Structure 1
Amino acid sequence: MELAEALRVAIGDFVRRARAGDRMPAGQAAVLGHLDRAGAVSIAELARREQVRHQSMTRTVHLLHDQGFVALKPHETDRRQVVVEISDEGRAALAGERRHRAAGIAEAIQHDLDEGEREVVRRIPEILAKLQPRQ
């Protein structure tokens, strides 16, 4: 249990440090990430996936729309709903944000770790992929 808690804390701290230099608000990046992976979905579905209120997601979606990062269109069968789709500009902004974050991590790996530590880090993605927390 101690190892699990230490891992949880370390991952949380790492993610916060990695996001510290982000240029895009985390909520907006998360929405663009969902749209990039899942394709067009309703605002209600985005709110459910992000576990936020519909009104909060509507605000986020409109901010993204104002920046040209998403397109809005009526739902095919339920005209009361709005479907959100990532635009080419949104996809480019998301890719740029991901590259920016990865570059910061790569620089830290290169400058802050010795070769033995870099070898350990090379295995971390594979190892984390095997971990499936049991609820």
Structure 2
Amino acid sequence: MSLTPDDGADALALVHELRVVIGRLKRRLREQAYLGELTWSQVAVLGHLDREGPATVTALARAEGMRPQSMGATVAVLEAAGLVSGAPDPRDGRQTILSLTESCRDLIKAGRAVREDWLLREIQTKLSAEEIGQLAAAVALLKRLGSS
């Protein structure tokens, strides 16, 4: 599909198709990781702490678009499961800085490895060498879109 700036209908169709395909791929990747009894909001908090580092309940609530009280309940479950731990904020003793436990980091690492192994097998078994090259080029374009 070749698009020009004036080709709004084709661009809109491409946007729709891309959103659907990315959503489907995300779901397939999620299926590969066992989350146990964790909810998606709990997984989102763990992902935030993994990507952004330690944070307070207030900062997590803001980042995830939740009320601090709701985030406090989410964090309490994660603490009880041994996935996050809290330490007093050295700058403000009233605040607690939350971070991932080592066992949680290990679980995240293992989950990533399972998903990457699945994706590697899918690429190797379903795509030709030429298609793998096209996929690499598409990934470069998606990176550019994601960084803007």
TM bucket (normalised to shorter chain) is: 0.7 to 0.9
Contact 1:40 1:86 in 2 (8 A): yes
In the TM superposition, residue 80 of structure 1 has moved relative to its aligned partner by 4.1
In the TM superposition, residue 128 of structure 1 has moved relative to its aligned partner by 0.7
Find the aligned partners of 1:37 and 1:83 in 2 and give their Cα distance.
Answer: 15
- TM-score of the superposition, structure 1-length normalised? 0.82
1:53-89 Cα shifts (integer Å, max 9, x gaps): 3233223222221222211123334444332111211
Match of 1:115 among 111, 125, 129: 129
Q: Which has the higher contact order (CA 8 A, sep 6+)?
A: 1
Q: Which runs of 5+ in 1 are unaligned?
A: none
**Which amino acid is 1:46 matched to?**
L
SS of residue matched to 1:84 = strand
- 1:35 corresponds to 2:46: no
Q: Which runs of 5+ in 2 are unaligned?
A: 1-11
- The structure with the larger Rg is 2
Contact 1:74 1:82 in 2 (8 A): yes
Matches within 5 A, 1:1-135: 1-24=12-35, 25=38, 26-132=40-146
Find the aligned partners of 1:57 and 1:120 in 2 and give their Cα distance.
Answer: 42
When residues 88 and 20 of structure 1 are mapped into structure 2, their CA distance, relative to the original with a 3 A threshold, is same
When residues 105 and 132 of structure 1 are mapped into structure 2, their CA distance, relative to the original with a 3 A threshold, is closer
How many pairs were matched up? 134
- TM-score of the superposition, structure 2-length normalised? 0.76
When residues 56 and 22 of structure 1 are mapped into structure 2, their CA distance, relative to the original with a 3 A threshold, is farther
Identity %: 34
In the TM superposition, residue 49 of structure 1 has moved relative to its aligned partner by 1.0
RMSD: 2.2
